[in-house]
A and B are shown apart, each in its own frame.
Chain A
Amino acid sequence: GAVVSQHPSRVICKSGTSVKIECRSLDFQATTMFWYRQFPKQSLMLMATSNEGSKATYEQGVEKDKFLINHASLTLSTLTVTSAHPEDSSFYICSARGAGLAGSTYEQYFGPGTRLTVT
Protein backbone atom coordinates (compact mmCIF):
# COMPACT_ATOMS: atom_id res chain seq x y z
CA GLY A 1 0.00 0.00 0.00
CA ALA A 2 0.85 3.70 0.15
CA VAL A 3 1.86 4.07 -3.48
CA VAL A 4 2.35 7.47 -5.04
CA SER A 5 2.79 7.78 -8.78
CA GLN A 6 4.03 10.63 -10.93
CA HIS A 7 3.61 11.30 -14.59
CA PRO A 8 5.60 11.83 -16.67
CA SER A 9 8.81 10.34 -15.35
CA ARG A 10 10.86 12.43 -17.74
CA VAL A 11 10.04 15.46 -19.83
CA ILE A 12 12.04 17.70 -22.11
CA CYS A 13 10.54 21.02 -23.09
CA LYS A 14 11.63 24.17 -24.82
CA SER A 15 12.30 27.37 -22.97
CA GLY A 16 9.17 29.46 -22.59
CA THR A 17 6.70 26.59 -22.65
CA SER A 18 4.72 25.17 -19.73
CA VAL A 19 4.88 21.68 -18.33
CA LYS A 20 2.39 19.88 -16.13
CA ILE A 21 3.41 17.12 -13.73
CA GLU A 22 0.78 14.88 -12.16
CA CYS A 23 0.99 13.22 -8.78
CA ARG A 24 -1.48 10.54 -7.73
CA SER A 25 -2.02 8.59 -4.54
CA LEU A 26 -3.08 5.16 -5.75
CA ASP A 27 -4.42 3.42 -2.68
CA PHE A 28 -5.17 6.12 -0.16
CA GLN A 29 -6.69 9.53 0.09
CA ALA A 30 -4.04 12.22 0.26
CA THR A 31 -5.36 15.04 2.38
CA THR A 32 -2.04 16.82 2.03
CA MET A 33 0.45 16.74 -0.79
CA PHE A 34 3.90 18.26 -0.94
CA TRP A 35 6.12 19.21 -3.85
CA TYR A 36 9.89 19.11 -3.66
CA ARG A 37 12.64 19.69 -6.17
CA GLN A 38 16.15 18.36 -6.15
CA PHE A 39 19.16 19.69 -8.05
CA PRO A 40 22.07 17.36 -8.84
CA LYS A 41 24.05 16.25 -5.80
CA GLN A 42 21.79 18.22 -3.48
CA SER A 43 19.07 17.30 -1.04
CA LEU A 44 15.35 17.70 -1.56
CA MET A 45 14.03 21.23 -1.19
CA LEU A 46 10.42 21.73 -0.21
CA MET A 47 8.56 23.95 -2.66
CA ALA A 48 4.99 23.95 -1.45
CA THR A 49 2.30 22.23 0.60
CA SER A 50 -1.22 21.76 -0.64
CA ASN A 51 -4.33 20.57 1.09
CA GLU A 52 -7.20 19.22 -0.95
CA GLY A 53 -9.53 22.00 -1.97
CA SER A 54 -7.31 24.79 -0.64
CA LYS A 55 -4.67 27.05 -2.10
CA ALA A 56 -1.13 25.81 -1.82
CA THR A 57 1.29 27.30 0.66
CA TYR A 58 4.62 28.10 -0.96
CA GLU A 59 8.01 28.14 0.70
CA GLN A 60 9.97 31.34 0.77
CA GLY A 61 11.66 32.02 -2.54
CA VAL A 62 9.32 29.83 -4.60
CA GLU A 63 7.29 31.83 -7.11
CA LYS A 64 3.66 30.84 -6.86
CA ASP A 65 2.84 32.29 -10.28
CA LYS A 66 5.55 30.23 -11.87
CA PHE A 67 4.86 26.94 -10.09
CA LEU A 68 1.11 26.46 -10.16
CA ILE A 69 -0.20 23.77 -7.86
CA ASN A 70 -3.66 22.30 -8.01
CA HIS A 71 -4.94 19.74 -5.51
CA ALA A 72 -8.46 19.31 -6.79
CA SER A 73 -9.13 15.83 -5.45
CA LEU A 74 -7.96 13.57 -2.66
CA THR A 75 -5.91 11.50 -5.07
CA LEU A 76 -4.49 14.01 -7.53
CA SER A 77 -2.24 17.04 -7.37
CA THR A 78 -0.62 18.76 -10.30
CA LEU A 79 2.39 21.03 -10.58
CA THR A 80 2.59 23.25 -13.63
CA VAL A 81 5.90 24.92 -14.39
CA THR A 82 4.94 27.96 -16.43
CA SER A 83 7.26 29.66 -18.90
CA ALA A 84 9.99 27.20 -18.09
CA HIS A 85 13.64 28.20 -18.38
CA PRO A 86 16.81 26.12 -18.28
CA GLU A 87 17.34 26.98 -14.61
CA ASP A 88 14.05 25.19 -13.85
CA SER A 89 15.60 21.94 -15.00
CA SER A 90 15.48 19.71 -11.94
CA PHE A 91 14.10 16.53 -10.41
CA TYR A 92 10.60 17.23 -9.10
CA ILE A 93 9.22 14.92 -6.45
CA CYS A 94 5.77 14.86 -4.95
CA SER A 95 4.79 13.41 -1.62
CA ALA A 96 1.48 12.56 -0.05
CA ARG A 97 0.19 12.13 3.43
CA GLY A 98 -3.31 11.13 4.34
CA ALA A 99 -5.93 8.92 5.82
CA GLY A 100 -6.50 5.29 5.12
CA LEU A 101 -2.91 4.25 5.65
CA ALA A 102 -2.35 1.32 7.93
CA GLY A 103 -0.39 2.19 11.01
CA SER A 104 0.08 5.91 10.74
CA THR A 105 -1.19 9.10 9.26
CA TYR A 106 2.10 10.85 9.88
CA GLU A 107 4.25 9.33 7.21
CA GLN A 108 4.87 10.96 3.90
CA TYR A 109 5.04 8.70 0.88
CA PHE A 110 6.97 9.86 -2.12
CA GLY A 111 6.50 9.54 -5.82
CA PRO A 112 9.29 8.32 -8.10
CA GLY A 113 10.06 11.81 -9.33
CA THR A 114 9.91 13.65 -12.65
CA ARG A 115 13.09 14.75 -14.37
CA LEU A 116 12.46 18.03 -16.17
CA THR A 117 14.94 19.27 -18.72
CA VAL A 118 14.36 22.69 -20.27
CA THR A 119 16.32 23.36 -23.44
Chain B
Amino acid sequence: DAKTTQPNSMESNEEEPVHLPCNHSTISGTDYIHWYRQLPSQGPEYVIHGLTSNVNNRMASLAIAEDRKSSTLILHRATLRDAAVYYCILGDSGNTPLVFGKGTRLSVIA
Protein backbone atom coordinates (compact mmCIF):
# COMPACT_ATOMS: atom_id res chain seq x y z
CA ASP B 1 0.00 0.00 0.00
CA ALA B 2 1.20 3.50 -0.81
CA LYS B 3 1.88 5.28 2.45
CA THR B 4 1.10 8.72 3.72
CA THR B 5 2.84 10.89 6.27
CA GLN B 6 0.93 13.26 8.51
CA PRO B 7 1.88 15.29 11.58
CA ASN B 8 0.87 13.55 14.79
CA SER B 9 -1.07 16.51 16.09
CA MET B 10 -2.12 20.05 15.29
CA GLU B 11 -3.90 22.77 17.15
CA SER B 12 -6.20 25.47 15.89
CA ASN B 13 -8.21 28.30 17.32
CA GLU B 14 -11.92 28.21 16.87
CA GLU B 15 -13.26 30.12 13.87
CA GLU B 16 -9.88 30.08 12.12
CA PRO B 17 -8.92 28.09 9.03
CA VAL B 18 -6.97 24.87 9.47
CA HIS B 19 -4.60 23.38 6.93
CA LEU B 20 -3.86 19.69 7.52
CA PRO B 21 -0.92 18.47 5.42
CA CYS B 22 -0.31 15.02 4.01
CA ASN B 23 2.71 13.74 2.14
CA HIS B 24 2.36 10.82 -0.23
CA SER B 25 5.48 10.80 -2.35
CA THR B 26 4.98 7.22 -3.57
CA ILE B 27 1.46 7.80 -4.89
CA SER B 28 0.65 5.97 -8.09
CA GLY B 29 -1.26 7.36 -11.03
CA THR B 30 -4.46 5.57 -10.12
CA ASP B 31 -4.46 6.36 -6.40
CA TYR B 32 -7.19 8.59 -5.09
CA ILE B 33 -6.49 10.73 -2.03
CA HIS B 34 -9.12 10.16 0.64
CA TRP B 35 -9.66 12.06 3.86
CA TYR B 36 -11.64 10.69 6.75
CA ARG B 37 -11.99 11.89 10.29
CA GLN B 38 -12.84 10.07 13.48
CA LEU B 39 -14.44 11.66 16.47
CA PRO B 40 -13.95 9.97 19.85
CA SER B 41 -15.75 6.63 20.17
CA GLN B 42 -17.24 6.87 16.68
CA GLY B 43 -16.57 5.27 13.33
CA PRO B 44 -14.62 7.22 10.71
CA GLU B 45 -16.54 9.82 8.75
CA TYR B 46 -15.89 10.55 5.09
CA VAL B 47 -14.64 14.08 4.52
CA ILE B 48 -13.49 14.42 0.94
CA HIS B 49 -11.53 12.72 -1.80
CA GLY B 50 -9.80 13.69 -5.01
CA LEU B 51 -7.56 12.47 -7.79
CA THR B 52 -5.81 15.40 -9.45
CA SER B 53 -7.88 18.56 -9.23
CA ASN B 54 -8.70 20.50 -6.10
CA VAL B 55 -12.05 19.58 -4.61
CA ASN B 56 -14.57 21.42 -2.49
CA ASN B 57 -17.56 20.20 -0.57
CA ARG B 58 -19.64 21.44 2.32
CA MET B 59 -17.22 20.06 4.87
CA ALA B 60 -13.82 20.99 3.51
CA SER B 61 -11.55 21.67 0.58
CA LEU B 62 -8.80 19.44 -0.72
CA ALA B 63 -5.80 21.03 -2.36
CA ILE B 64 -3.65 18.59 -4.33
CA ALA B 65 -0.12 19.47 -5.38
CA GLU B 66 0.57 19.47 -9.08
CA ASP B 67 2.93 16.49 -8.76
CA ARG B 68 0.37 14.78 -6.46
CA LYS B 69 3.04 14.00 -3.91
CA SER B 70 1.28 15.99 -1.25
CA SER B 71 -2.13 17.34 -0.41
CA THR B 72 -3.75 19.61 2.15
CA LEU B 73 -7.13 19.33 3.76
CA ILE B 74 -8.55 22.75 4.49
CA LEU B 75 -11.22 23.38 7.08
CA HIS B 76 -12.31 26.94 6.41
CA ARG B 77 -13.54 27.79 9.90
CA ALA B 78 -12.69 25.34 12.63
CA THR B 79 -15.32 24.63 15.25
CA LEU B 80 -15.08 22.64 18.44
CA ARG B 81 -16.93 19.84 16.68
CA ASP B 82 -14.06 19.52 14.22
CA ALA B 83 -11.76 18.19 16.93
CA ALA B 84 -10.97 14.69 15.70
CA VAL B 85 -8.28 12.47 14.23
CA TYR B 86 -7.94 13.19 10.51
CA TYR B 87 -6.71 10.41 8.26
CA CYS B 88 -5.22 10.89 4.79
CA ILE B 89 -5.41 7.62 2.89
CA LEU B 90 -4.48 6.55 -0.61
CA GLY B 91 -6.78 4.15 -2.39
CA ASP B 92 -7.26 2.96 -5.93
CA SER B 93 -10.54 2.72 -7.76
CA GLY B 94 -10.78 -1.01 -7.29
CA ASN B 95 -11.93 -3.05 -4.39
CA THR B 96 -8.94 -2.72 -2.11
CA PRO B 97 -9.86 -1.61 1.41
CA LEU B 98 -8.71 1.63 2.94
CA VAL B 99 -5.70 1.16 5.20
CA PHE B 100 -5.45 3.67 8.02
CA GLY B 101 -2.25 5.24 9.28
CA LYS B 102 -1.93 7.14 12.53
CA GLY B 103 -3.55 10.34 11.29
CA THR B 104 -3.38 13.84 12.72
CA ARG B 105 -5.11 14.63 15.97
CA LEU B 106 -6.64 18.09 15.61
CA SER B 107 -7.41 20.06 18.73
CA VAL B 108 -9.59 23.14 18.49
CA ILE B 109 -9.27 25.78 21.15
CA ALA B 110 -12.20 27.98 22.04
A residues with a Cβ closer than 8 A to B are 2, 4, 6, 32, 34, 36, 43-46, 49, 51, 91, 93, 95, 97, 104, 106-113, 115
A107 x B34 contact (CB < 8 A): yes
Interface size class of B (residues with CB under 8 A): 20 to 34
Asked if B99 is an interface residue, CB under 8 A from chain A, the answer is: yes
| Distance, CA A20 to CA B34, complexed state (A) | 30
| Distance, CA A72 to CA B95, complexed state (A) | 18
Nearest first, the 4 closest Cβ-Cβ pairs linking A and B are A110-B43, A44-B100, A43-B100, A110-B44
Q: Interface majority SS on A: helix, strand, loop or mixed?
A: strand
Q: How many pairs of residues, A versus B, come closer than 8 Å at their CB atoms?
A: 54
Report B-chain residues with C-beta under 8 Å of the C-beta of A36. 100
B residues with a Cβ closer than 8 A to A are 32, 34, 36, 38, 41-46, 49, 87, 91, 93, 95, 97-103
Cβ distance B52 to chain A, nearest Cβ, rounded Å: 15
B101 x A43 contact (CB < 8 A): yes
Report A-chain residues with C-beta under 8 Å of the C-beta of B91. 106
Chain A: CB-nearest residue to B34: A107
Chain A: CB-nearest residue to B43: A110
B93 x A106 contact (CB < 8 A): yes
| Distance, CA A32 to CA B94, complexed state (A) | 11
Cβ distance A4 to chain B, nearest Cβ, rounded Å: 8
Report B-chain residues with C-beta under 8 Å of the C-beta of A2. 46
6 pairs across A/B with beta carbons < 8 Å? Answer: A34-B98, A43-B101, A44-B38, A107-B49, A110-B36, A113-B41
Report A-chain residues with C-beta under 8 Å of the C-beta of B43. 4, 6, 93, 95, 110-113
Given contacts A32-B95, A49-B97, A95-B44, list 15 more A-B pairs with CB under 8 A. A4-B43, A6-B43, A43-B102, A45-B100, A46-B97, A46-B100, A95-B98, A106-B49, A106-B93, A108-B98, A110-B43, A110-B46, A111-B43, A112-B42, A115-B41
